[in-house]
Amino acid sequence: MKKFLLLLTTATMLYSCGDQGRGHLIGVQGREIWYQPDPFGMLFIPGGSYNMGNNDQDVPYAHVTQSKTVTVQAFWMDETEITNNEYRQFVEWVKDSIARRLLGEVDEEFLIMEDEYGEPFEPPFLNWDKKLRWDSKEEEVREVLAEMYLPEHERYYRRKEIDTRKLNFEYYWIDYKSAASHANRQQGMIDRSQFIIKRVDNIYPDTLAWIRDFTYAYNEPMAQNYFWHPAYDHYPVVGVNWLQARAFTVWRTQLLNDYLITREQTIVNDFRLPTESEWEWAARGGLDLSSFPWGSPYIRNSDGCFLGNYKPLRGNYADDGGFHTVVVGHYAPNDFGLYDMAGNVSEWTSNAYDESAYNFAHDLNMDYTFEAKDTDPAVLKRKVIRGGSWKDIGYFMQVGTRTYEYQDTAKCYVGFRCAQTYLGRQKGDGPNSSNVY
């Protein structure tokens, strides 16, 4: 017995003298020192509280923009709307991933079949290190990739073009609201897979929106050239519906996180569409009770120049320096440094549209969402858009004006930008900061 007590005492002393904090609560040691870098192309928007809603009279008496005091946490937001060239990166990635999957059936070098321990992946991952050549002279490769192109009877002047109807993106997200519901929590052990939602969407922009949106107007050149021509690379992407915009945010998240994981770095919060309350807070630029992002109740500056791209006069689209859309960042930014928060293109938010949302949505990170099914009636598919566009009158450029489009429809005047929740309270807060409260 004495021998046992001696061994136990010795073991305790050795344990307490190691890296275990001498018996004190010191937390898990060896954690990485982590710093959140600024996401490329995004600006930090500090959290805060403001009066959400119109600061001017409700001109159409719509009664959908009551005033409500809300608070939003700090987040990042894209400096400009997503451009044609940025969205084209998404399209090219989807196109190449489909091609690699097809080629993997005849050449396993395009696939990663097993992990570092020899355990097979099911299904296998795509091997992006293997170079893909669309102009390959290998007959087998050409036969496989032929499936990606338009069939000969659909070609125009025999041009060999990618069949954009096949550019489908498979993606997933977690339904946290369902997972957190009391009904599901009370069931005890449940299958987590029921909260993982899978969706497949075609992600190519609807270029014909330029023609469909305006009856008896000649917009064929925009339909033919706007998305793919280099002249429009830095113009905001349009013809992207809400579902496609959300798919883009999922892809952008995976693109960055996959890069971080391969370098054994910690992943960050998801990219996403901004909530309606975040969008308005960002558009105000820290200026409360202001009708427009620039702080003035007027749409011209002191020199008489227009401050945004919209429809300033009846039938005169060009008087503000634009015509259709213009290059992003063409007009001056607001006090947060964000461009085109009024005009150019309206922008999708993550929220479902309900006329009375201000009455029941929470005042903390106000967020009302509804996951409409493809078979649901149109009224359930309404999503909030903000900011006004090149074809709208000045009322829709006001930071508090809210309207909607349907999630499965694409318009030539609606685009989007991404947001990402900041990991922390505010910049500068930390264990060695004097700003910690």
Any idea what the CATH number is for the domain that residue 207 is in?
3.90.1580.10
User: 308 and 278: one domain?
Assistant: yes
How far is Cα 385 from Cα 401, in angstroms, rounded to an integer? 9
Considering the domain architecture, whether residues 157 and 223 belong to the same structural domain is answered as no
In a domain, 38, yes or no: no
Question: Coil, strand, or helix at residue 193?
Answer: helix
Confidence of residue 246 (pLDDT cuts 50, 70, 90): very high
Average pLDDT over residues 37-52: 93
Residue 149 has pLDDT above 50, yes or no: yes
Asked if 75 and 102 sit in the same domain, the reply is no
Does 429 reside within a domain? Answer: no
Q: Extract the tokens encoding 420.
A: 């990402």
Q: Kindly state whether residues 310 and 364 are assigned to the same domain.
A: yes
Task: Say if residue 62 is in the same domain as residue 126.
Answer: no
Helix (H, G, I), strand (E, B) or coil at 255: helix
Per-residue confidence band for 58, with pLDDT thresholds at 50, 70 and 90: low
Average pLDDT value for residue range 116-127: 82
| H/E segment holding residue 256 | helix 242-262
Name 200's bridge partners. Answer: 170
> Are residues 145 and 124 in contact, defined by beta-carbon separation less than 8 angstroms?
no
Q: Report which of residues 420 and 33 the model is more confident about.
A: 420
Q: Does residue 218 register a pLDDT over 60?
A: yes
What is each CA distance from 193 to 76, 176, 182, 198, 232, in whole angstroms?
A: 30, 12, 18, 10, 42
* Same domain assignment for residues 79 and 93: no
Is the pLDDT score of 269 beyond 80? Answer: yes
What does the DSSP assignment read for 84-151?
A: HHHHHHHHHHHHHHHHHHHHTTT-GGGEEEE-TTSPEEEEEEE-TTS---TT---HHHHHHHGGGBPP
Inside any domain, residue 17? no
| pLDDT at 148 > cutoff 80 | yes
Whether residue 92 is found in the same domain as residue 78: no
Could you tell me if residue 7 is inside a domain? Answer: no
When comparing pLDDT for 105 and 345, which is higher?
Answer: 345
Please determine, for residue 107, whether its predicted confidence score (pLDDT) is greater than 90.
no
Same domain for 209 and 163, yes or no, is no
The CB density around residue 355, as the number of other CB atoms within 10 Å, is: 14
Nearest by Cα to 423 from 11, 34, 139, 20: 34
Q: Give every CB contact of residue 392 below 8 A, 6+ residues apart in sequence.
A: 310, 311, 343, 346, 413
Q: What is the 3-state secondary structure (H, E, C) of 262-331?
A: HCCCCCCCCEECCCHHHHHHHHHCCCCCCCCCCCCCCCECCCCCECCCCCCECCECCCCCCCCCCCCCCC
Q: Per the structure, how many domains does the chain have?
A: 2
Least confidently predicted of 128-142, 208-222, 324-338? 128-142
Output the pLDDT for position 430: 59
Span 153-164, average pLDDT? 91
- How confident is residue 436, by pLDDT bands cut at 50, 70 and 90? very low
User: How confident is the prediction for the chain on average, in pLDDT?
Assistant: 87
pLDDT band at 4 (very low <50, low <70, confident <90, very high): very low
pLDDT of 240: 98
CA–CA separation, 110 vs 164, rounded Å? 22
Q: How many CB atoms lie within 10 A of CB 295?
A: 14
Q: What is the mean pLDDT of residues 133-145?
A: 85
Most confident of 50-64, 111-125, 204-218: 204-218
Return d(Cα 408, Cα 379) in angstroms, integer. 12
CA distance 343 to 293: 10
Q: Residue 243, SS3?
A: helix
For residues 386 and 397, the answer to whether their CB atoms sit within 8 Å is: no
Residue 249 belongs to some domain of the structure? yes
User: The domain containing residue 148 runs over which residues?
Assistant: 87-167
Same structural domain for residues 317 and 358? yes
- On whether residue 56 sits in a domain, the answer given is yes
SS3 152: helix
CB–CB of 283/386 below 8 Å? yes
189, pLDDT greater than 70 = no
* 208 is a domain residue: yes
Let me know if residue 248 belongs to a domain.
yes
My answer on whether 65 and 94 are in the same domain is no
Q: What is the pLDDT of residue 65?
A: 67
| Same domain? 77 vs 130 | no
Residues 276 and 371 placed together within one structural domain of the fold: yes
